[in-house]
A and B are shown apart, each in its own frame.
Chain A
Amino acid sequence: MTRAIVSAAFLLTTALVVPARAQSPSDSATGPGRLEVAFGAAWIGSATLGSRDANETTSAGTDFRLFASSTELAGGSGIDAHVAVRVTPRLEAEAYLTYTKPELQTRVDSDFESSNGPLTASDSIQQFTIGGAALWYPGVPRLGSRVHLFVRGGIGGLRQLENGGTLVVTGREYEAGAGVKMMLASRGSGWWKGIGARADARAVIRQKGVAFDDSAHTSPAVSASIFVRF
Chain B
Amino acid sequence: MSSWFDGLTTSGIPLIRRLSEIPLTRRLSQIPLILSLSKDERRRAVAMLLTGLCILSHLQPAFAYVKFGVRVGGQTVTLKWAQTPARYFVTDASVPGVTATDLQGALGRAFASWQGVPTSAISYQLGGFTNARPGDEDGLSTIGFRNRPDLDRVLGSTSFLVDNTTGALLESDIFFNASFAWSVASNGEAGKFDLESIALHEIGHFSGLGHSAIGETELRPDGGRRVLAAEAVMFPIAYSAGTVTGRTLRPDDIAGISDIYPDGGFATATGSLSGRVTKNGQGLFGAHIVAFDPGDGTMVGNFALNAQGEFSMAGLRPGPHVVRVEPIDDADLDSFFDPNRNVDIDFRVTYFDGLVIVPRGADSGSIEIKVVQK
Contacts and interface: CB of A to CB of B under 8 A. Distances in A.
B11 to A, nearest CB: 14
B349 A113 contact: yes
Contacts of B216: 56, 64, 66, 112-113
B243 A60 contact: yes
Interface stretch (A148-156, A159-167, A173-181): A159-167
Contact of B245 (A54, A60, A67): A60
A106 B299 contact: no
B357 interface: yes
A52 B294 contact: yes
Contacts of B348: 114, 116
B355 interface: yes
B193 to A, nearest CB: 12
A107 to B, nearest CB: 9
B243 A71 contact: no
Given A56-B214, A60-B245, A167-B359, A121 B229 contact: no
Contact of B359 (A64, A71, A114, A163): A163
Prevailing SS type, chain A contact patch:
strand
A81 interface: no
Contacts of B180: none
B294 A55 contact: no
Interface string B308-352: 000000000011101110100000000000000000000011011
A64 B357 contact: no
B326 to A, nearest CB: 6
A58 B228 contact: yes
B239 interface: yes
A140 interface: no
B54 to A, nearest CB: 30
B354 A67 contact: no
Given A56-B230, A123-B320, A71 B357 contact: no
A123 B357 contact: yes
Nearest to B214: A56
A69 interface: yes
Contact of A69 (B229, B245, B294): B294
Contact of A104 (B239, B320, B326, B352): B320
Contacts of A112: 216
A169 B351 CA distance: 25
Interface of A: 52-61, 64, 66-67, 69, 71, 104-106, 108, 111-114, 116, 119, 121-123, 162-163, 166-167, 169, 210, 212
28 contacts: A52-B295, A52-B296, A54-B290, A57-B229, A58-B229, A59-B239, A59-B245, A60-B245, A69-B292, A105-B355, A106-B322, A106-B355, A108-B324, A114-B349, A116-B348, A121-B322, A122-B354, A123-B354, A123-B356, A123-B357, A162-B319, A162-B320, A166-B359, A167-B271, A167-B318, A167-B358, A210-B319, A212-B296
